[in-house]
A = this chain, B = another copy of it.
């Protein structure tokens, strides 16, 4: 059992002091270029790696960011959103040797407790705040803790915390104008969890555009994002006296469930009802017909968010920023309604 190689081992072999080796390895001034090269080569040869605990203890970074997911595991599993976001984050964090600490909790209270513990234990250097709500209770806690955080979502409602957001409102305008151009006059929306900021923003946009376009009828029904509720709501909508000619879903899973319900009821897609998903993933391509969807580059979103949290820790001034807006990917599930 060979012992770990420490900075002292490298120093001894190089005939230098620990301090000099530390300077050399970290690109700090205080050693000559030739010495630095020699030390770097030696460290590589000897298979030296910094002990993350020692590094963290001596005032530097913990070398980790935290992400807490406060949704039931059943919902989490099926939404491609999170994994895409996570893999984006990690590709941005890799360059700075930062790891991702993940925790799944049942609710916001537990989430807040995790933040307190992580920060008290100096286990993370910062966290990502996800699923932002209106008047989110987590925001003041993070501010009070002075725990560096980057909010995934917005705009607004994250106090003094920096955030990155995607413009859902204008995407909703795009969606509605597209449907209106197809001559849809009766549009329903199967929305996500009320209280979540992006849900609210979409609802507001939906209502105001519907009004502006002078639609015959429009409504939003709230769900918990689960396919079960998506199916249930769709069933209700399609069996009403005068059903909508188009339905906009707040995620892809519910849209897929919606198509299924339509099949089951003998309602044809898209001739009887047009269906539209929010967030594009392979799920949208496996249904028949494939789903028209609002497509956002979630992975790039993750990259952006992580890069900005790193910048924040480097002392740069980081403010709210808007990601590139979503695109509309038209597939077979939307068409002009037959009269």
Contacts and interface: CB of A to CB of B under 8 A. Distances in A.
A78 B283 contact: yes
B122 A52 contact: yes
Contacts of A63: 123
Contacts of A263: 263, 288
A97 to B, nearest CB: 8
| Copies of the polypeptide in the assembly | 2
Given A123-B52, A263-B263, A78 B80 contact: yes
Contacts of A286: 227-228, 230-231, 253, 256-257, 260
Interface stretch (A98-106, A154-162, A322-330): A98-106
A120 interface: yes
Interface string A248-270: 00000100110011011000000
Contacts of A122: 4, 51-53
A77 B281 contact: yes
Given A100-B102, A282-B227, A285-B227, A73 B121 contact: no
A168 to B, nearest CB: 20
Contacts of A62: 52-53
Contact of A99 (B47, B49, B54, B103): B103
A132 to B, nearest CB: 21
A159 B144 CA distance: 50
Contact of A51 (B57, B80, B253, B260): B57
Q: How extensive is the interface on chain A, given as a class?
A: 35 or more
A174 to B, nearest CB: 24
Nearest to A5: B120
A222 interface: no
Interface in A40-74: 47, 49-57, 62-64, 73-74
Nearest to A122: B51
A283 to B, nearest CB: 6
A227 B256 CA distance: 14
Contacts of A264: 288
A interface: dominant SS: helix
Interface stretch (A13-21, A84-92, A190-198): A84-92
A73 B282 contact: no
A59 to B, nearest CB: 10
A76 interface: yes
B76 A77 contact: no
Interface string A5-25: 000000000000000000000
Contacts of A120: 4, 47, 49
A84 to B, nearest CB: 5
A57 to B, nearest CB: 4
A220 interface: no
A331 interface: no
A334 interface: no
A-B pairs, top 6 by smallest CB distance, nearest first, are A77-B80, A49-B120, A53-B56, A77-B83, A73-B87, A264-B288
